[in-house]
Structure formats: structure tokens, C-alpha cells
């Protein structure tokens, strides 16, 4: 046994040393081809080569430059579900994908042991994953044959820190394209996430229990939420994302099955929604607890979006619904919206009768119908709305459990989001007694 371990150790030492380039800074570059056996050249499954390459990369000591793993543009590999697990020796790793990585084309070929993901990085710090390549899990095989809760995510980052994911294209995920869970300080940029509009539950990017997350300059065209920011998340920035088709950029859903969920300090700026079911959306389940607060949607362009602005505290999605409690929604700003709406109702604020929505600020909203000369309306109940330069009338029903409101003020609202819960506004608009019905 000792001899076997010694030979294994010697193998890794020789392998790592053989990949060191002539740079004085000690940079190491690996290639998948270095880990392929003779049988792998004709084998359709390259999973073991990827595991061996990851182990070598993870064990490598970082010098001035990060140890790197390169997949070249002319390379295509097929892999089954992969867990790339840390922590690694170096806190500065680089994987560049210019080629294609794909999953087996049928569900059966994935293997009998079902996984929650296809590719997963777990407890990894300081990873840069970039390139111009393609990740194709062939998710269409799953959509009609496997229930949504049994389908895998395409890419997952779990418990990671200081991550950069840039430049790649992902096609047709079985479910969520990218899941970020329990992560700190991640930047996702210049990504292209693509799936048909009717592909079920194919969210672009889902974020949960994470903070300091940035999504920048990306195109997301999927069958569900382009971005979903779920419970336990804060300090989230989404900037210059084009969304559509899809269900918009959503806070939630929150509070499912009575859960206590919290989301705060979210900025969504300079984004475009094209042909989406929703634009800026906050969705919370009946019976949930917790809060969504300090949220800003700003400089939003709408092209034939069905519901440009929506807060739904009665989100149910076919489940068992109750009205016993609700997730509190407050301190939300919608600012500088322009473009066209495909539905008759451009603004929908469906808030809970007992909890209500507080300090909902709308400024410089200019939305017109996609159909010429068709007026738009708003549906609003139990929401405290502050309006400035909004081209659609908003009148809300009130309730005795809501606090009385001070007269309307022209003073600008406090900046959003704020790192700490903001102090209550001294002035806000008053409810009208009129309720628009759909």
C-alpha cells in the first residue's frame, strides 16, 4: 500500500512539473489532452480526464500567475455530471474554455445515479472561469420526460468565494442554467444563456443565500426568469442585461410553503426586456414570512413586455395557497422606465391586505401600449405608492390595518439600495379609495 501511494505521489509530482512553462514566475498551464488515455481518444465519456485535470489544478501551488487549465477552440469533450471540489492549494485558479463541453445527448446516458447538477464548483476560492466556448447539456431531452424537480442544473457554484465567470455561451439547460448558492463576491459577465421561450423552468441565473454578486453585460434568452434573486441574498447588482424571451428579472419567489425568506439591497440598472412575460417583478408566496426591501429598478427599456412592473404578494403558481401571512415588501423604487407594453395592464401591485406594500416609489415612468392608440391601466391594492412623472394613473385601495399616510411630498426619496435598513420616510403619498380591477 505504501509503495502504491508513493508511486501515486510521484506521478502527480512529475505530471505537475512537466506542465510548468519556462516563465520565471512559476506559472503552470494544463491541457485536457494531457490527461486523456489511449482509450479516451475513442471513448465518448471524458469525465475521468476532467477529474484528473481538476485534481492537478487544485493541488498546484500558485505563483505570481494562476495555474491554468485550457480547453482549446478545436476541442470537444463529453462529460457526465462533474463535481469540482475545493478548497484548493492556490487561491488563484484559471480555467479557460474556448472549445465545447457537452453532456450525453439522452437522459439514460447520464447514468442511473441522478445528480442535482451537471457541472458544479464547490468551496472553491479565487476561480476565474472564462473563454469563448460553449457548454451544451442537451437539456431538451429532459424537458418532456422528467419532472422539473428531478432535472439537473447546468452550472452550479456552491459555497464559493471571489469567482469570475466570463464570456461563455450556455445552451438548453435541463433546468436552471446557472445557480449561485452560498457564495460571496462573484462576478458573472458577458455570458450568453439561450433556451427556447417554451422550455420549462430554464431560469438564466438563480441566486440564493449569497451576497456581493454582480451580473454584468449579459444576454439571457430562456423559458423562465432571466435572473431570480431568492432568499438569503443581499448586495446584488444586475447591470446591462438584455432579457427576453423569459419571465423578467425577479425578486423571488420568496416564502414558499411558509418559509422565512429575506432579500435586500438589490440594484437592477440599464437593462432591457424584449417580449418578456414580466419586466421588473417581485413575487412572494401566500403564507410566507420575511421581507424584500431596499430594491431599485432603474433605467429600464421595455419592448413589448407583457407586465412591465409587477409586485405579487399572492404568488401561488399552482400550489396550496393560504393568506395567513405574507412576506413584507417595502422600500422599492422603479425609476426611468420607458418603452412598450403588450398587455392592457402595465403596472400591477397586488399586495396583501394585512401586510401591504410600503414606500413603493415610481418616478419617470413612460410606458405606452404596443397597440397604437390603446390606453394602459394599473391594478393596485394595499400599496403605499409615491408617484412622480408617471404617465399611467395609479389608484390604490387602502385598508384599516395600514398606517395613515402623510400628504404627498415632492422631496426625492432616499437613495436605493442602502446597506442598512432605511429610516422611515417622513412624507409619502396618500391612498385613494378607488381600486382598479383587472
- Determine the distance from the C-alpha atom of residue 426 to the mean position of all C-alpha atoms in its chain, rounded to a whole number: 35
Grid look-up 424537458 returns 143
Residue 95 CA: distances (Å) to CA of 27, 98, 136, 317: 13, 10, 17, 39
Residue 343: how many other CB atoms lie within 10 Å: 17
Q: Alpha-carbon distance 52 to 47, whole Å?
A: 9
Residue 318: closest CA among 253, 382, 244: 253
Q: Alpha-carbon distance 216 to 47, whole Å?
A: 31
Beta bridge partners of 165: 129, 188
Q: Find out whether 237 and 260 touch, Cβ atoms under 8 Å.
A: no
Report residue 217 as a C-alpha cell: 453585460
Catalytically active residues are: 247
User: Which residues 6+ apart lie within 8 Å of 152 measured at CB?
Assistant: 81, 110, 114, 115, 116, 117, 118, 137, 142, 174, 175
Amino acid at each position: 500500500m505504501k509503495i502504491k501511494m508513493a508511486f501515486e505521489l510521484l506521478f502527480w509530482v512529475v505530471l505537475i512539473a512537466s506542465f510548468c512553462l519556462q516563465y520565471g514566475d512559476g506559472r503552470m498551464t494544463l491541457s485536457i489532452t494531457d490527461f486523456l488515455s489511449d482509450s479516451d481518444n475513442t471513448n465518448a465519456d471524458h469525465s475521468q480526464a476532467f477529474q484528473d485535470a481538476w485534481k492537478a489544478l487544485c493541488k498546484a501551488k500558485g505563483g505570481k500567475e494562476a495555474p491554468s487549465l485550457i480547453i482549446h477552440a478545436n476541442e470537444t469533450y463529453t462529460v457526465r455530471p462533474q463535481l469540482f471540489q475545493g478548497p484548493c492549494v492556490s487561491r488563484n485558479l484559471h480555467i479557460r474554455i474556448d472549445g465545447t463541453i457537452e453532456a450525453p445527448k439522452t437522459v439514460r446516458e447520464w447514468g442511473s445515479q441522478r445528480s442535482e447538477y451537471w457541472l458544479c464548483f464547490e468551496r472553491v476560492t479565487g476561480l476565474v472561469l472564462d473563454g469563448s466556448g460553449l457548454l451544451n447539456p442537451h437539456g431538451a431531452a429532459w424537458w418532456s420526460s422528467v419532472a422539473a424537480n428531478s432535472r439537473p442544473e447546468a452550472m452550479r457554484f456552491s459555497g464559493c468565494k471571489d469567482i469570475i465567470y466570463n464570456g461563455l455561451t450556455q445552451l438548453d439547460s435541463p433546468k436552471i442554467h446557472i445557480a449561485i448558492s452560498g457564495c460571496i463576491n462573484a462576478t458573472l459577465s458577458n455570458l450568453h444563456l439561450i433556451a427556447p421561450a417554451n422550455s420549462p423552468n430554464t431560469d438564466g441565473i438563480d441566486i440564493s443565500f449569497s451576497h456581493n454578486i454582480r451580473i454584468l453585460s449579459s444576454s439571457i434568452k430562456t423559458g423562465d426568469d432571466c435572473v431570480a434573486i431568492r432568499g438569503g441574498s443581499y448586495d446584488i447588482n444586475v447591470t446591462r442585461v438584455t432579457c427576453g424571451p423569459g419571465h423578467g428579472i425577479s425578486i423571488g419567489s420568496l416564502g414558499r410553503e411558509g418559509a422565512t425568506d429575506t432579500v435586500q439591497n438589490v440594484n437592477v440598472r440599464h437593462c432591457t426586456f424584449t417580449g418578456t412575460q414580466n419586466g421588473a417583478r417581485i413575487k412572494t408566496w401566500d403564507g410566507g414570512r420575511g421581507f424584500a426591501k431596499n430594491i431599485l429598478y432603474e433605467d429600464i427599456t421595455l419592448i413589448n413586455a407583457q407586465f412591465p412592473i409587477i409586485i405579487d404578494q399572492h404568488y401561488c403558481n399552482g400550489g396550496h395557497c393560504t393568506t395567513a401571512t405574507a412576506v413584507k415588501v417595502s422600500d422599492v423604487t422603479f425609476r426611468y422606465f420607458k418603452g412598450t407594453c403588450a398587455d392592457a395592464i402595465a403596472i400591477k401591485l397586488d399586495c396583501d391586505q394585512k401586510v401591504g406594500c410600503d414606500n413603493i416609489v415610481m418616478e419617470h415612468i413612460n410606458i405606452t401600449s404596443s397597440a397604437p392608440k390603446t390606453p394602459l391601466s394599473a391594478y393596485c391594492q394595499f400599496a403605499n405608492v409615491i408617484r412622480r412623472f408617471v404617465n399611467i394613473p395609479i389608484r390604490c385601495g387602502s385598508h384599516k390595518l395600514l398606517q395613515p399616510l402623510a400628504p404627498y411630498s415632492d422631496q426625492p426619496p432616499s437613495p436605493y439600495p442602502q446597506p442598512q435598513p432605511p429610516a422611515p420616510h417622513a412624507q409619502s403619498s396618500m391612498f385613494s379609495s378607488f381600486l382598479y380591477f383587472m
